């Protein structure tokens, strides 16, 4: 329920501040082994990539990242500072792909490890088409709903940060 409230708040916040409800979920989604979100941002790919990979910037869009980390190299660590990262039960882990301005991929700890991939593509107006894919899930509807809502909220917060230069102003 917590994730549902955060998601609804993020839709309202992005509508009011950006004029568009960012990262809306499709109403006809069926369970699948991946979660996929895509949105257009007015910020450049380099700006968005910096927000995703600079620990000082991660805290501005991810209120649940008390001690973010990004080693910026394949084989390094990506993290938000969660306890689950240290004991490898939940959260980000090893960086699997690092292509500045284009792609960031890392392992996600869980009952069955999954993979999170951020793809960035330039738009003709100088903005970015951002696609997040969290793949490799065992089909567990409750877990996927929570992750799906959580990612949508994180993406809305990221959109506000890179487009307006301010933190979203709420915590899930």
Would you give the DSSP letter of residue 75? T
Buried b or exposed e, range 98-114, using 16+ CB within 10 angstroms: beebebbbbbbbbeeeb
**Residue 1 confidence class, pLDDT cut points 50, 70, 90:** very low
Cα separation, 25 vs 142, in Å, equals 15
DSSP code of residue 172: -
88 Cβ neighbours under 8 A, 6+ residues apart? 109
Q: What is the pLDDT of residues 33-77, one digit of tens each?
A: 788 999 999 999 999 999 999 999 999 999 889 999 999 999 999
User: Which residues have C-beta within 8 Å of that of residue 69, sequence separation ≥ 6?
Assistant: 55, 77, 78, 79, 81
Helix (H, G, I), strand (E, B) or coil at 87: coil
Q: What does the pLDDT read at residue 23?
A: 62
Which has the closest alpha carbon to 32: 135, 105, 118?
135
Which pLDDT band, with edges at 50, 70 and 90, does 162 fall under? very high
Mean pLDDT, residues 138-155 taken together: 76
Q: Please give the pLDDT value at position 107.
A: 97
Report the pLDDT averaged over residues 98-113. Answer: 94
Q: Picking from 13-17, 56-60, 72-76, 91-95, which range would have the lowest pLDDT averaged per residue? A: 13-17
Please state whether beta strands 91-99 and 69-70 pair in parallel, antiparallel, or not at all (unpaired).
unpaired
Average pLDDT, the chain: 85
pLDDT above 90: residue 110: no
């Amino acid at each position: 329920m917590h994730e549902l409230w955060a998601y609804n708040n993020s839709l309202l916040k992005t509508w009011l501040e950006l004029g568009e409800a960012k990262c809306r979920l499709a109403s006809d989604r069926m369970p699948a082994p991946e979660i996929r979100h895509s949105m257009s941002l007015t910020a450049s790919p380099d700006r968005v990539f910096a927000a995703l990979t600079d620990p000082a910037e991660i805290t501005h869009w991810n209120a649940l990242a008390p001690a973010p980390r990004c080693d910026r190299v394949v084989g390094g660590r990506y993290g938000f500072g969660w306890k689950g990262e240290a004991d490898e039960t939940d959260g980000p882990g090893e960086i699997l792909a690092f292509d500045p301005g284009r792609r960031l991929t890392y392992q996600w700890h869980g009952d069955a490890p999954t993979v999170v991939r951020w793809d960035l593509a330039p738009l003709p107006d100088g903005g970015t088409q951002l696609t997040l894919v969290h793949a490799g899930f065992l089909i567990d509807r409750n877990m996927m709903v929570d992750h799906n809502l959580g990612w949508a909220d994180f993406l809305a917060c990221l959109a506000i940060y890179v487009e307006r230069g301010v933190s979203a102003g709420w915590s899930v």
